[in-house]
Chain A
Amino acid sequence: EAGVAQSPRYKIIEKRQSVAFWCNPISGHATLYWYQQILGQGPKLLIQFQNNGVVDDSQLPKDRFSAERLKGVDSTLKIQPAKLEDSAVYLCASSLWAGRNTGELFFGEGSRLTVL
């Protein structure tokens, strides 16, 4: 079974530039999550989608971050303009329907962003 795919794995940009990360969840997984992991810390949830609708985006800095999941499958997370403090690993995860507590999120390997 293919896992959660993310790209790019690494990205280096200057501050105030923009960047986009792509995620393809496991086939059939209705719920998709984006987490941000700053070096030395645990991951922090940014946004949760159920199919193509947003369930929770309370911790997404909406002045610069945006995310979409137009067809309920893959998703894009964008940062514009980037700040130095956005340097982190952006992790995508997926799970079966959130209403069924299967207990397991499947994470991708992450996209490491460095903002100079």
Chain B
Amino acid sequence: DAKTTQPPSMDCAEGRAANLPCNHSTISGNEYVYWYRQIHSQGPQYIIHGLKNNETNEMASLIITEDRKSSTLILPHATLRDTAVYYCIVSKGGTSYGKLTFGQGTILTVHP
């Protein structure tokens, strides 16, 4: 699976949009981009995933560049409860699905 690069930490003011970048320059054509987050002392929580097109759900939006070498997770109106470690993962689907290789992630701190 392709490796990802994320900034180690980011800050965001409550109510503002949080934009979390991820670089995955070696992604292959059949690999998806997944985002998970982990709030302290809890298991990781799925946020969103995509292949080529931008995706949006009730939690976030995922913007994937046209060359697929990078992506951005957008939390449109961050709250204090969004403080967590955010993991960007690339992984194949099919029977490899679920074999997620987590990196260090980005620690997002949302402050009042």
A98 to B102, Cβ gap below 8 A? Answer: no
Chain B residues with CB under 8 A of A48: 98-99
B 18-44 to A, binary, CB cutoff 8 A, 1 in contact else 0: 000000000000001010100001111
| Main secondary structure on B side of the interface with A | loop
Given the known inter-chain contacts A42-B87, A42-B105, A103-B34, please indicate yes or no for A56 contacting B99, CB distance below 8 A.
yes
Query: Does B103 sit at the interface, judged by CB under 8 A?
Result: yes
- Measured as residues with beta carbon below 8 angstroms from the partner, the interface class of chain A is 20 to 34
A91–B94 contact, CB under 8 A? no
Given contacts A98-B95, A103-B49, A109-B42, 20 further A-B contacts (CB under 8 A): A41-B102, A42-B102, A42-B103, A43-B102, A45-B98, A45-B100, A55-B95, A93-B98, A98-B98, A99-B94, A101-B32, A101-B93, A101-B97, A103-B46, A105-B36, A105-B44, A105-B46, A106-B46, A107-B45, A109-B43
Q: Which chain B residues have a beta carbon within 8 Å of chain A's beta carbons?
A: 32, 34, 36, 41-46, 48-49, 87, 93-95, 97-105
